């Protein structure tokens, strides 16, 4: 009989959500490498063509800013009365700063 995903039976295994040692070691190595070479990295970036520099900035931003996700909402307006539709549209306009 097979075990379910995530259940190896090893009670001393790595807890869920804790990165493995290799990942942690690699991240620490990369951080040390970047910090030790910060001035050279800045010089290298300044030597890039403007379009290359912008492309690099864009790639680096993905590590510091959360990615935006599209959000959709479906509302069956036929089930709402005029007052409810007015209230909802008013709230939407406030959120969009058109009020």
Residue 87 lies in a domain: no
Q: Give the model's pLDDT for residue 28.
A: 93
Q: Distance from CA of residue 23 to its chain's centroid?
A: 19
Residue 69 lies in a domain: no
Q: Using CA atoms, how far apart are residues 20 and 14, in angstroms rounded to an integer?
A: 8
| Domain interval for residue 30 | 21-61
Across the chain, which has 99 residues, the per-10-residue mean pLDDT values are 62 77 90 94 95 92 82 83 89 78
Residue 44 lies in a domain: yes
Q: Is the dihedral of CA 78, 81, 84, 90 positive or negative?
A: positive
**How many domains does one find in the chain?**
1
Please write the tens of the pLDDT for every residue from 1-28.
556 665 666 777 777 777 788 888 999 9
Structure-token pair, residue 92 = 């939407």
Residue 91 lies in a domain: no
- The structure's pTM equals 0.46
**How many CB atoms lie under 10 A from the CB of residue 95?**
9
Q: Using CA atoms, how far apart are residues 24 and 32, in angstroms rounded to an integer?
A: 12
């Amino acid at each position: 009989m097979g075990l379910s995903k995530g259940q190896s039976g090893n009670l001393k295994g790595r807890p869920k959500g804790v990165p493995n040692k290799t990942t942690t070691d690699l991240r620490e190595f990369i951080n040390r490498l970047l910090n030790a070479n910060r001035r050279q990295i800045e010089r290298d970036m300044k030597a890039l063509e403007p379009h290359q520099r912008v492309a690099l900035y864009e790639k680096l931003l993905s590590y510091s800013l959360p990615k935006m996700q599209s959000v959709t909402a479906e509302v069956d307006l036929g089930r709402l009365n005029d007052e409810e539709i007015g209230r909802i549209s008013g709230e939407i306009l406030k959120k969009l700063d058109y009020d």
